[in-house]
Copies of this chain bind each other. A is one copy, B any other.
């Protein structure tokens, strides 16, 4: 349905939150969960995934928690999404070799959809967490002229 999952939302919120707290401050799961009314156990898993992907760094024990692994300008929205959702494909039948899609043989939409997908990838990759923060308060619309041949 072309929608991000809740987990991904949570991931973006968390990363954004950490970003807002500075790069040095250790933040724990409970703190974020309470800030945004997110089920703690679920958020925990989300953060663990982000950790595994190297986007954030964990610190064990009491007073432990998480830190951003890099500068917010170096973490793309795409990276966060992919960390949680794995392969982000606009369609099943394209990149997935074992998708045994019945339409494969004659499919007439794969190539154009892949192009659309690539454009979306490009967009998501070009936006960093730092950018999100910026756009969050202001109302800048990063609308782009892409093809622009339709009205």
Given A17-B108, A90-B2, the answer on whether A142 and B131 have CB atoms closer than 8 Å is no
Q: Are A108 and B13 touching (Cβ within 8 A)?
A: yes
Interface residues on A, range: 35 or more
Q: Give the number of copies in the complex.
A: 2
Given A93-B9, A150-B126, the answer on whether A136 and B109 have CB atoms closer than 8 Å is yes
Contact of A118 among B107, B141, B149 (CB under 8 A): B141
Q: Are A9 and B139 touching (Cβ within 8 A)?
A: no
Known: A4-B91, A108-B133, A126-B149. 19 other contacts (CB 8 A): A3-B92, A9-B91, A12-B113, A36-B103, A36-B107, A37-B105, A73-B150, A74-B150, A109-B132, A111-B135, A112-B132, A112-B133, A115-B143, A116-B127, A118-B142, A122-B143, A122-B144, A123-B146, A128-B150
Interface residues of A (CB under 8 A from B): 1-6, 9, 12-13, 16-17, 20, 35-38, 73-74, 76-77, 81, 85, 88-93, 102-103, 105-113, 115-116, 118-120, 122-128, 131-133, 135-137, 139-144, 146-150
